[in-house]
Structure 1
């Protein structure tokens, strides 16, 4: 087990403390040029992520291309993350698909020493609220690890459902990817004391201030995956009330990044990976069905990344 012990109370405590100190890291998964897993490259990359002191580490999630990993690769990825974290921060592994397959990944994550699980949206089908609750109930009954539900895509909880999932033993929090602040406010008001929430929008910094107004200041950062200097500078600006610094980073880096990201489906991951490669990180290409950026978009990304690093006194 990781250092926080795998018990809901201790995991909640460690995650809350981490969220107050830094952004949440969702590391990229390293692949060789032929698409095979590069475990050594991933180890080196994760070490770099941890050196930037994130609030927690979330391997094998959306940014880590969970959907493309087989079970053996998943075991290696989570195991490396746990080993490199060495108890310094909580390790929350992604699981997904239907509850039966998610339970298989959950067992692997538990054996590898993860502290908790992020339950990614289930595969393909829309489902009623009773089914969304039952999905978590079935998974919680099959793992001893605490669970964080992720609402995005076809998964969106009502306030009533939130009260139900919060009563499931082991369910400790919710990651939100819908950015519907009306719904999110209703969820936070319905939640019991101590229930965790964090902003999981695709480029969370864009909406970080808005999320904070409904009681959700913590967020994951895709930018941390390739430029922790920028992500940490923005986090510090928000924490310290330096609105001018935050606005400049948003205007000159984050908004142009989102505009570039939105050009092609899948760029939310493949642009991040390309930016990491531009900085010499051993992450390799994305796997199909994602595609790496075009030559023109890569050139634009390089210019934007350089400008962003200049803003925080760092270099490419």
Structure 2
């Protein structure tokens, strides 16, 4: 089972926007040392929307190569084109990813039947564990619990990243889906409660900046230790909020650069974090004790 605190890894870039391979390798080692339970390579936070297909697959390959099987690597391979999603998923399998994360087809606003047939087609085309990803705030479509439950019957669709922040969704999907279907929070602010209520983990932006605390918080929540989980989560609350002070991954990349782990490269149309937004993110980092209070 893939479970726990899974980082939605930022993609380090050079000043000209080219992927920064040396920093990517160091970043993977940082997460291994800090207890991250799995790495999601080239999801939304990894700037999947601005990498071409070859770059996308090369970043996945590099992460797999650096991890060396020590934790699972989940490749972001979703697209609003079913054909492209199949191609990306097939290539991710070829380079050794353990599973794939497939966002709902964005922009073209499919029906629930279209969502079902899209994900079913990808799953049947590529024999690799696949995780659905529902984030209607970005995609303009919502994979409803009933559709997720239908898809849970497809043998290699193993779970869903539910990023609505609506905890009632967790209860409904658990009730409707086949036994063993995995539920991951895609909303850091509600991930603690999500796991206390039976969720299997989180695919996290906050884990880019505070991986050790996210690992400990999710482990406590999954063990049913509410007091410990909520105490840790209170330290992380500022990061959960202010890593979205501008569009993700802008604040997360800035914060990881503040930790000295990556440079300042980012691709248009994303821009570096605005000057007036930096102090709130620094304050959240101090609250989580990932930087000193001085």
TM-score by length of 1: 0.83
Do the aligned partners of residues 263 and 79 (structure 1) sit closer, same or farther apart at CA in structure 2, a change above 3 Å counting?
closer
Partner residue of 2:51? 69
After superposing on structure 2, the runs of 4+ consecutive aligned residues of structure 1 that deviate more than 4 Å are none
The 5 A counterparts of 1:180-259 are 180-201=166-187, 204=188, 206-212=189-195, 214-235=197-218, 238=221, 239=223, 241=225, 243=227, 246-247=230-231, 249-250=233-234, 253-259=235-241
Partner residue of 1:5? none
CA drift of 1:104 comes to 1.5
Name stretches of at least 5 consecutive residues in structure 1 with no aligned partner: 1-12
Partner residue of 2:61? 79
Decide which moves more: 74-83 or 218-227.
Answer: 218-227
Distance 2:88 2:287 in 1: 40
Partner residue of 2:144? 158
Do the aligned partners of residues 262 and 118 (structure 1) sit closer, same or farther apart at CA in structure 2, a change above 3 Å counting?
closer
Is 1:273 aligned with 2:259?
Answer: no
Partner residue of 1:288? 268
Instruction: Give SS of 1:293's match.
Output: coil
Partner residue of 1:35? 17
**CA contact 1:27–1:49 (8 Å) conserved in 2:** no
Paired residue for 2:38, among 56, 67, 78?
Answer: 56
Do the aligned partners of residues 157 and 214 (structure 1) sit closer, same or farther apart at CA in structure 2, a change above 3 Å counting?
farther
**CA contact 2:8–2:208 (8 Å) conserved in 1:** yes
Name stretches of at least 5 consecutive residues in structure 2 with no aligned partner: none
Distance 1:260 1:273 in 2: 12
Do the aligned partners of residues 240 and 178 (structure 1) sit closer, same or farther apart at CA in structure 2, a change above 3 Å counting?
closer
**CA contact 2:36–2:212 (8 Å) conserved in 1:** no
What does the per-residue CA deviation read over 1:283-305, in whole Å, with 9 as the maximum and x for residues that have no partner?
53322222211122223322331
CA drift of 1:219 comes to 1.3
Instruction: Give SS of 2:75's match.
Output: strand
Aligned residue pairs: how many? Answer: 288
Distance 1:259 1:187 in 2: 26
**CA contact 1:57–1:89 (8 Å) conserved in 2:** yes
Distance 2:88 2:47 in 1: 14
Instruction: Give SS of 1:23's match.
Output: strand
Instruction: Give SS of 2:45's match.
Output: coil
Do the aligned partners of residues 161 and 43 (structure 1) sit closer, same or farther apart at CA in structure 2, a change above 3 Å counting?
same
**CA contact 1:261–1:271 (8 Å) conserved in 2:** yes
Paired residue for 2:242, among 252, 260, 264?
Answer: 260
Do the aligned partners of residues 212 and 47 (structure 1) sit closer, same or farther apart at CA in structure 2, a change above 3 Å counting?
closer
Do the aligned partners of residues 182 and 218 (structure 1) sit closer, same or farther apart at CA in structure 2, a change above 3 Å counting?
same
Partner residue of 1:124? 107
**CA contact 2:206–2:240 (8 Å) conserved in 1:** no
Is 1:170 aligned with 2:152?
Answer: no
CA drift of 1:217 comes to 4.6
CA drift of 1:249 comes to 4.7
**CA contact 1:94–1:119 (8 Å) conserved in 2:** yes
**CA contact 1:42–1:283 (8 Å) conserved in 2:** no
RMSD: 2.3
CA drift of 1:46 comes to 1.2
